[in-house]
């Protein structure tokens, strides 16, 4: 049996006499196929009990028999073997020519230029080959001393060491991308380079950096000369691509951007960090074909990995810092549970969600110490501060325990609201439960003060529900997160003019929303100061909710 193929218009063949015939790009193979689409050690033909079979040697682009990709396949005369860009035909070999053909030395590979092709390099294969896949680290034992000696003597080792040093010092994504291209343009014969990053909230890729020789442009406007065909395949299939000449490469023939932008020799690698693809790095030469080889593709893939890890590190650091700042600002107003629900979903959007002024349905609570003003005239400032702290601390805890938001302290009054920034269907019930907790805490506080011979104070609470405007309100130099509207005004006046010390007064809408969850009694209608309409008020009987 023999295999026959054609290269640059010349017919070549090899008769299979030995029990094993190796196929590949390297000159050590019996069948030498000189093109970058063929791996150095691509496949082997072996004679077994059932006849000749082809075995794929973990090649980059695989082996096909009769248009079907195979790892191993028995061969019969007439079969077509696809190795890279080559098609080998399996034939019966004349007996007389067998010994003569086998005696000939292996054909030396013709010199460049090589044929056009696309090299496809999967990220999984790259990780396994270079020890980045921990799962495969025990599959093979390498001669570490020899590998290190080769690395130390390699200029590429110097490039990667230099890049690592530069990336550690980089403080922004733009700086990371510029440093990566600094190494890429020093190490590789490239004329143009582009780095596209995928948006954190979308799958669209945007060019963040373009370099033309020594000219760098951040976020260039207009159409960027990249191959959309290559970019899409790299991100979809998680592979790195090399094309010897994109203009005549059959696999890229459908790419209009290749023709428009005059892309010839090109490489494209994904920016990958773990299982995540965050973008692509493409370099090319619009003037020359055959500029890059498989080692260049491996180097570009490594550079892209360095870039992705550095970009992810900076992005995560930025998110963590933003989350820290958002938490520091919001924890003054919001309960831990509300704060966590705001920040954990999307820390970047939390500031906008909370700060933006918007309409909401909410319940507002005012709690005030009755008789505090008169008592404070008789106390030293330190005693006044101690008394306020003794009231404010349990009041705020009660508000936070029910998922409320602390609006502000107004003298000896606490103002809070429920139902924003996170909507709460039961905001009225939460507010009344918080009010009951405040009353209970105040009674315990008064008992402790009475035992020490200190004066006591009752708390007066009012709760009202309805439409509000909520968000950051204030000047350019200072803003407060607060609620505004008639609902707030009614609550304030119910507390000031209707409520009694030691009691909880609620408005009509709050009473409706409670739906009988708490025992109440009507107080009647009131004409409150500054309000045109009369307001229905109720008293909550200080008992546990039904």
Which pLDDT value is given to residue 544? 45
Q: What are phi and psi of 85, to 5 degrees?
A: -90, 0
pLDDT tens, 96-148? 433 333 333 343 344 333 344 556 656 666 665 555 554 444 434 445 545 54
> Averaging pLDDT over each range in 115-124, 346-355, 393-402, which range is the top one?
393-402
CB contact at 8 A, 64 and 82: yes
Checking if the pLDDT of 476 tops 70, the result is no
CB contact at 8 A, 90 and 78: yes
pLDDT tens, 36-83? 788 889 999 999 999 999 999 988 888 999 989 999 999 999 999 999
CB contact at 8 A, 455 and 377: no
Measured at the CA of 137, the angle between CA 133 and CA 140, to 5 degrees, comes to 130
Has this prediction a pTM greater than 0.85? no
Q: Using CB atoms within 10 A of its CB, is residue 25 exposed (0-12), middle (13-18) or buried (19+)? A: buried
Strand order in the sheet with 276-285: 118-122, 239-243, 265-273, 276-285, 192-198, 205-212, 215-218
Which of 274, 460, 272 has the alpha carbon at shortest distance from 365? Answer: 460
* 3-class SS of residue 113: coil
The tokens for 35 are: 């093109």
Checking if the pLDDT of 196 tops 70, the result is yes
Three-state SS for 419-476 is: CCCCCCCCHHHHHHHHHHHHHHHHHHHHHHHHHCCCCCCCEEEEEEEEEEEEEEEECC
Which pLDDT value is given to residue 152? 52
CA–CA distance, 156 with 162 (Å, rounded to integer): 10
CB contact at 8 A, 432 and 541: no
Least confident of 101-110, 255-264, 486-495: 101-110
Q: What are phi and psi of 385, to 5 degrees?
A: -60, -40
Checking if the pLDDT of 353 tops 70, the result is no
Which pLDDT value is given to residue 263? 81
Residue 242: its H or E element: strand 239-243
Which of 1, 10, 20 has the alpha carbon at shortest distance from 86? Answer: 10
Checking if the pLDDT of 378 tops 90, the result is no
Q: Is the dihedral of CA 157, 159, 161, 167 positive or negative?
A: negative
In this structure, the number of other CB atoms found within 10 A of the CB of residue 248 comes to 13
Which pLDDT value is given to residue 515? 93
Pairing of strands 43-48, 20-24: antiparallel
* Average pLDDT value for residue range 293-322: 86
Which pLDDT value is given to residue 104? 32
Set out the domains of the chain in order of their start, with CATH numbers: 2-91 (2.60.200.20), 156-317 (3.30.450.40), 351-540 (3.30.70.1230)
Q: Which residues sit opposite 505 in a β-bridge? A: 462, 539
Q: What percent of the chain has pLDDT over 90?
A: 37
Which pLDDT value is given to residue 518? 94
């Amino acid at each position: 049996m023999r295999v026959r193929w054609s290269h640059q218009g010349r017919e070549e063949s090899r008769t299979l006499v030995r029990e094993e015939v190796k196929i590949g790009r390297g000159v050590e193979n019996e069948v030498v196929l000189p093109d970058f689409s063929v791996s150095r050690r691509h496949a082997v033909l072996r004679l077994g009990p059932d006849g000749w079979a082809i075995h794929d040697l973990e090649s980059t682009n695989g082996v096909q028999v009769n248009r079907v990709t195979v790892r191993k396949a028995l061969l019969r005369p007439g079969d077509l073997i696809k190795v890279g860009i080559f098609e080998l035909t399996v034939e019966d070999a004349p007996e007389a020519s067998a010994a003569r053909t086998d005696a000939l030395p292996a054909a030396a590979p013709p010199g460049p230029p090589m044929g056009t092709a696309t090299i496809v390099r999967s990220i999984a294969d790259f990780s396994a080959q270079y020890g980045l896949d921990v799962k495969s680290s025990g599959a093979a034992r390498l001669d570490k001393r020899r590998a290190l000696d080769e690395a130390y003597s390699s200029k590429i080792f110097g490039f990667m060491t230099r890049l690592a040093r530069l990336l550690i010092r980089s403080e922004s994504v733009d700086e990371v991308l510029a440093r990566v291209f600094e190494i890429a343009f020093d190490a590789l014969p490239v004329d143009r380079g582009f780095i596209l990053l995928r948006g954190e909230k979308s799958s669209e890729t945007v060019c963040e950096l373009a370099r033309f020789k020594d000219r760098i442009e951040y976020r260039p406007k207009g159409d960027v000369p990249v191959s959309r065909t290559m970019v899409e395949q790299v991100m979809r299939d998680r592979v790195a691509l090399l094309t010897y000449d994109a203009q005549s490469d059959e696999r890229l023939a459908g790419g209009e951007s290749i023709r428009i932008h005059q892309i010839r020799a090109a490489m494209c690698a994904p920016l990958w960090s773990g299982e995540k693809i965050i973008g692509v790095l493409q370099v090319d030469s619009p003037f020359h074909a055959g500029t890059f080889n498989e080692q260049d593709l491996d180097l570009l893939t490594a550079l892209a990995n360095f870039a992705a890890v550095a970009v992810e590190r900076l992005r995560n650091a930025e998110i963590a810092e933003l989350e820290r700042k958002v938490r520091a600002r919001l924890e003054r107003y919001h309960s831990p549970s509300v704060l966590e629900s705001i920040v954990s979903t999307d820390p970047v959007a939390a500031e906008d969600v909370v700060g933006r002024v918007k309409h909401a349905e909410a319940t507002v609570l005012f709690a005030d110490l009755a008789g505090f003003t008169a008592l404070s005239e008789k106390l030293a400032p330190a005693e006044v501060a101690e008394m306020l702290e003794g009231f404010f601390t349990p009041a705020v805890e009660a508000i936070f325990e029910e998922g409320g938001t602390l609006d502000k302290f107004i003298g000896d009054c606490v103002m809070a609201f429920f139902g924003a920034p996170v909507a709460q269907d039961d905001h009225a019930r939460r507010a009344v439960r918080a009010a009951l907790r405040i009353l209970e805490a105040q009674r315990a506080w008064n008992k402790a003060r009475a035992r020490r011979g200190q004066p006591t104070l009752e708390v007066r609470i009012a709760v009202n529900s309805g439409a509000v405007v909520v968000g950051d309100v204030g000047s350019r130099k200072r803003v407060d997160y607060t609620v505004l509207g008639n609902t707030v005004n009614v609550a304030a006046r119910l507390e000031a003019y209707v409520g009694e010390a030691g009691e909880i007064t609620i408005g009509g809408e709050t009473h409706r929303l409670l739906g009988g969850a708490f025992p109440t009694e009507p107080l009647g209608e009131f004409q409150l100061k500054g309000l045109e309409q009369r307001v229905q008020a109720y008293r909550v009987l200080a008992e546990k909710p039904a």
